[in-house]
């Protein structure tokens, strides 16, 4: 835990120090402890980099938690927030807001992204619950993939017919921490807090659920209640994270596997470690994106995708070799 916390602290400090204008760490600490609006470095730290760092840490932690919940809920080792159609639902809602309602600011996107993510997750759970078996992991995964395909087609249809919407949407869609302020954080903080509390309290239930539905029922656990509670936390966490930083990929996939490598199969430990590692991963990707192409930068979502793709391939190969 101390190592993971140290990694997160290092990522936070680098996020505050590095950018178009690098600053030594003592200057960053001085700016944080003794803010002076007359000093340019202090203005950069407080007005630009601190909001970006806070948003990155919160979004990464939320996605890490949501990914761990999804993998436990569906018993699918490659599950991430995109599996249940959350990202696609949020993206479609943002497209609708831009095209037909004229919303053009990040603060305006928040509620639409959150509502779209929630509706998509509820729709997937409703479809996956049809039939006598109820919402099994396989049915949830198939329903999520099908809904994602439908929503993505609708998004593409709208974007191809409206170039102005495409121009606004593409910056949000790649996943970015730029252009947000702490007012956005205050808006989604209650949802993040509630989702995190529910998720962290679900570890024992996920441990039992991971043994299979029949064993869980035999041990006296309500499978339906476990899935409903987990889905509620996933909706809150993914909706808030997507509203903060756009539809980021791979954070919710990589962080739980890194946590599992450290902690073993106990979800009471996997969940908090996933939150910390998700925050560190997204901040590290954002910092890397700032320094690879100076004086410009690469969006954090693109860096995470570039790093996550080979990890996904390695994970699939390892899972296949293990016979899972």
Rounded to a whole number of angstroms, the CA Rg of the chain reads: 20
Report phi then psi at 103, rounded to 5: -75, 130
Query: Average pLDDT of 276-281?
Result: 95
Q: How far apart are CA 109 and CA 98, in angstroms?
A: 8
Q: Which pLDDT score, from 0 to 100, does residue 60 have?
A: 94
CA dist 14 → 26, 76, 91 (Å): 12, 34, 30
CATH code where residue 317 lies: 1.10.3470.10
Instruction: Identify the residue with better confidence: 59 or 137.
Output: 59
The pair of three-digit structure tokens given for residue 289, joined into one six-digit string: 């994106």
197-252 tens-digit pLDDT: 999 999 999 999 888 778 888 888 888 788 888 888 988 898 888 878 877 878 88
Q: How far apart are CA 150 and CA 102, in angstroms?
A: 24
The pair of three-digit structure tokens given for residue 52, joined into one six-digit string: 């970006």
How many beta carbons lie within 10 A of that of residue 179, not counting itself?
12
pLDDT interval class at 135 (50, 70, 90): low
pLDDT interval class at 184 (50, 70, 90): confident
CA dist 9 → 57, 183, 189, 255, 310 (Å): 10, 23, 21, 16, 26
**CB contact burial 256-268 (16+ within 10 A = b; e otherwise):** bbbbbeebeeebe
Q: How far apart are CA 278 and CA 249, in angstroms?
A: 11
**Total residues belonging to the chain:** 324
Task: Report DSSP state, residue 19.
Answer: S
Find the helix packing angle between 300-321 and 267-291, rounded to 10°: 130
Q: Taking the model in full, what pTM does it have?
A: 0.88
The whole-angstrom distance between residue 188's C-alpha and the CA centroid of its chain comes to 13
Q: Which pLDDT score, from 0 to 100, does residue 106 have?
A: 66
Please tell me the total count of domains within the chain: 1
DSSP string, 50-62: HHHHHHHHHHHHH
Q: Exposed, middle or buried, 102 (CB in 10 Å: 0-12/13-18/19+)?
A: exposed
Query: Average pLDDT of 19-35?
Result: 86
Q: Which pLDDT score, from 0 to 100, does residue 322 have?
A: 44
Q: Exposed, middle or buried, 43 (CB in 10 Å: 0-12/13-18/19+)?
A: middle
How many beta carbons lie within 10 A of that of residue 115, not counting itself?
16
Return the minimum-mean-pLDDT range out of 123-127, 165-169, 213-217, 225-229: 165-169
List of residues 6+ apart from 108 with CB closer than 8 A = 97
* Parent domain of 295: 2-321
């Amino acid at each position: 835990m101390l190592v993971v916390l140290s990694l997160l602290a290092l990522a936070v400090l680098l996020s505050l120090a590095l950018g178009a204008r690098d600053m030594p760490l003592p200057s960053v600490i001085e700016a944080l402890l003794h803010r002076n609006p007359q000093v340019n470095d202090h203005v950069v730290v407080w007005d630009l980099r601190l909001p970006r760092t806070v948003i990155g840490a919160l979004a990464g932690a939320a996605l890490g938690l949501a990914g761990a919940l999804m993998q436990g809920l569906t018993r699918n080792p490659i599950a991430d927030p995109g599996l249940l159609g959350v990202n696609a639902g949020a993206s479609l809602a943002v497209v609708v807001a831009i095209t037909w309602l004229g919303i053009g600011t990040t603060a305006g996107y928040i509620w639409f992204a959150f509502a779209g993510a929630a509706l998509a997750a509820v729709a997937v759970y409703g479809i996956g619950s049809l039939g006598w078996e109820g919402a099994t992991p396989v049915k949830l995964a198939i329903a999520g993939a099908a809904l994602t395909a439908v929503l993505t087609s609708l998004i593409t249809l709208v974007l191809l017919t409206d170039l102005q919407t495409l121009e606004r949407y593409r910056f949000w869609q790649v996943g970015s921490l730029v252009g947000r302020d702490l007012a956005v954080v205050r808006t989604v903080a209650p949802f993040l807090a509630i989702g995190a509390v529910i998720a962290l309290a679900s570890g024992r239930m996920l441990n039992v659920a991971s043994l299979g539905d029949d064993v869980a029922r035999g041990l006296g656990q309500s499978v339906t209640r476990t899935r409903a509670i987990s889905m509620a936390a996933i909706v809150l966490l993914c909706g808030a994270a997507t509203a903060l930083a756009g539809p980021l990929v791979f954070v919710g996939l990589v962080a739980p596997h890194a946590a599992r490598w450290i902690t073993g199969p106990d979800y009471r430990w996997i969940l908090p470690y996933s939150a910390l590692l998700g925050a560190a991963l997204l901040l590290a990707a954002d910092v890397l994106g700032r320094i690879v192409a100076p004086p410009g930068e690469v969006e954090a979502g693109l860096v995470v995708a570039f790093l996550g793709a080979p990890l996904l391939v390695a994970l699939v190969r390892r899972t296949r070799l293990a016979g899972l």
